[in-house]
Amino acid sequence: MLRTLLAGAAAGTLIVPSLASAAADPEIAELKKAMAEMRRDYEARIGALEKRLAQAERKSTPARATASPAKTTPGGASSTATAAVVAAPVVAPSSPAVAESVAAPTRASSATAGASAFNPAISLVLEGTAAAYSRDPEHWHLPGFWLGGHGGRPPEGLSVGHTELTVSANVDDWFYGQATLAVHDDEEGTELELEEAFIDTLSLPAGLGLRLGRFFPQVGYLNTHHPHTWDFVDAPLPNQAFLGGQWYEDGARLSWVAPTDLYVELGVEALRGGNYPVEGDTDGFLGGAQNAYAKLGGAVGTEHEWQAGLSYLWAEPTDRTSAHGQGQGDAGHSDESFVFSGDSPLLAADLVWKWAPDGNPTERNAVFQAEYFRRQEDGQLRFTNDAGGALLPYEGTQQGFYVQGVYQFVPRWRAGLRYDRVWSDNSLRVAVNESGEDDAALLDESGLLDDGHDPHRWSAMIDYSHSEYSRLRLQFTRDYTLPEADNQVFLQYVMSLGAHGAHRF
């Protein structure tokens, strides 16, 4: 089976010159379709074997002397074989319009590593959104939850959405590096952020991998995927409530991939914890938060693939703030604020199931995806204003989930449905009050009281990918975040320029 997969990868590289020399448009289209079908067929099966291949090569002394290992993918498997398959920028129309990562680095000897460092893969993703809401977005909030980070809805009207510039390359035969700059619009206006800036090791033994720098922690499934690869315009409610939409952090990740046919990855992360949802003590050697995760995956026959994950985040926020007001009351003025300090561990579980007839998603395919979050907080709120302050002991259990399904019914066209829900069981009281505010008003203004309503939404989308580089999407959401329904309509474009490679599962 291994020879067959490698033969398929080699055949993929031979097709590339023929595409360049083809004279007739129908022939070019036919060759591209054949390349896409072959790539998807082998890509789905090769991930579990390529790590074992890399390990075997490292054990061979001659091989170590002549070739450097390939980049370790975020899933833990090396991308040597994948790089051969994706050498040409041809992907099946069923795959997302743009890849999550830039083109996979090819093998390079130590003699050429320096030269390749001056020719990195560069990917620019352009995204734009038009949003309309039937209710005033200024009044939107999540009852029973604080929002931080980039939690919240896309701004009303026209915006540039989430535009990304990614640069990546093999540093040498030991390291791979990647950096991502992101431009996005929110309530504060247009912001430029450094989302990722990390290095991966390429040559650690026994299936081990090490990532250092700034990256997306392995908390749940969607958090590690760039927004342009999402199937809906916005993040689900649980991701907004518990991770601020999407959470990136400085730190280190140590992972291990088992040498088995069943995909098994275990990992631990030490995170600085300076951003929401932590905002804790960042001075410790292991940072202000630690995360442990496990992932399993495999295939059922030739038509089904699956992956399941579980993670647990240890976090102790110190003066964590809310970025979107203080709830339904009148707090939130410039001279008033609530902050939380205490314990805030977060459990996350996820499941993804993919189906394609005969393992070929070119014509039709379906993807089911679900995540569940549970957070238990124990500490106190501190309120301050010009008159003084107040202390509010607080305990809370907050939960949420989403389920979604996306079906490609004909080439290039997909439709999807998503349901997301969050709920809370919070308990807080006023222990000390020197603020001049009424106790009942302080409890209401905290934004953490359970008003008996569980925020939830229904979202439906349809999108069209003219090519593997472009996608247009229409989404309608019936939002019951507040008791009064809000009808929301989104139009979105996602365009990819430059290098891009295989997609993460």
Does 505 fall in a domain?
Answer: no
Does 126 fall in a domain?
Answer: yes
Torsion, Cα of 146, 475, 190, 217 (10° steps): 50
CB atoms within 10 A of CB 214: 17
Does 219 fall in a domain?
Answer: yes
| 81 sits in which H/E element | helix 80-85
Distances (CA, A) of 350 to 103, 223, 295, 297, 308: 27, 11, 9, 12, 6
Does 275 fall in a domain?
Answer: yes
* DSSP secondary structure letter of residue 148: -
User: Which positions ≥6 away from 474 have C-beta within 8 Å?
Assistant: 461, 462, 463, 489, 490, 491, 492
Strand 365-385 and strand 413-428: the pairing is unpaired
User: Which positions ≥6 away from 399 have C-beta within 8 Å?
Assistant: 372, 373, 374, 375, 422, 423, 424
Q: For residue 71, which phi and psi values (nearest 5 degrees)?
A: -65, 140
Q: For residue 58, which phi and psi values (nearest 5 degrees)?
A: -70, -25
- d(CA 427, CA 443) in angstroms, rounded, equals 10
What SS3 class is residue 435?
A: coil
Total number of domains in the chain = 1
Does 55 fall in a domain?
Answer: yes
Q: For residue 485, which phi and psi values (nearest 5 degrees)?
A: -65, 145
- d(CA 401, CA 419) in angstroms, rounded, equals 8
Residue 24 token pair: 């007739």
Does 234 fall in a domain?
Answer: yes
Domain assignment of residue 428, given as a range: 2-498
* DSSP secondary structure letter of residue 70: P
Does 6 fall in a domain?
Answer: yes
Q: pLDDT tens across 358-415, in order?
A: 989 999 999 999 999 999 999 999 999 988 899 999 999 999 999 999 999 999 999 9
- d(CA 500, CA 104) in angstroms, rounded, equals 8
| 504 sits in which H/E element | none
* DSSP secondary structure letter of residue 503: P
Q: pLDDT tens across 55-111, in order?
A: 555 444 333 333 333 333 333 333 333 333 333 333 333 333 333 333 334 434 444
CATH number at residue 10: 2.40.160.10
Does 320 fall in a domain?
Answer: yes
Q: Which residue has the tokens 């709120």?
A: 381
Beta strands in 219-358 (DSSP E): 249-257, 263-271, 289-300, 304-315, 337-343, 346-355
- Mind listing the pLDDT tens digit of every residue in the chain (505 residues)? 434 444 444 444 444 344 444 444 566 666 666 665 566 555 555 655 655 565 555 444 333 333 333 333 333 333 333 333 333 333 333 333 333 333 334 434 444 444 444 578 999 999 999 999 999 888 888 999 999 888 888 889 998 888 999 999 999 999 999 999 998 776 666 788 999 999 999 999 999 999 999 999 999 999 999 999 999 999 999 999 999 999 999 999 999 999 999 999 999 999 999 999 999 888 888 889 999 999 999 999 999 999 999 999 999 999 998 765 444 444 445 568 899 999 999 999 999 999 999 989 999 999 999 999 999 999 999 999 988 899 999 999 999 999 999 999 999 999 999 999 999 999 999 999 999 899 999 998 998 987 788 999 999 999 999 998 999 999 999 999 999 999 999 999 999 998 876 667 7
Name residue 422's amino acid.
V
Percent of the residues in the chain that have a pLDDT greater than 90, as a whole number? 59
| 322 sits in which H/E element | none
Torsion, Cα of 13, 17, 23, 27 (10° steps): -10
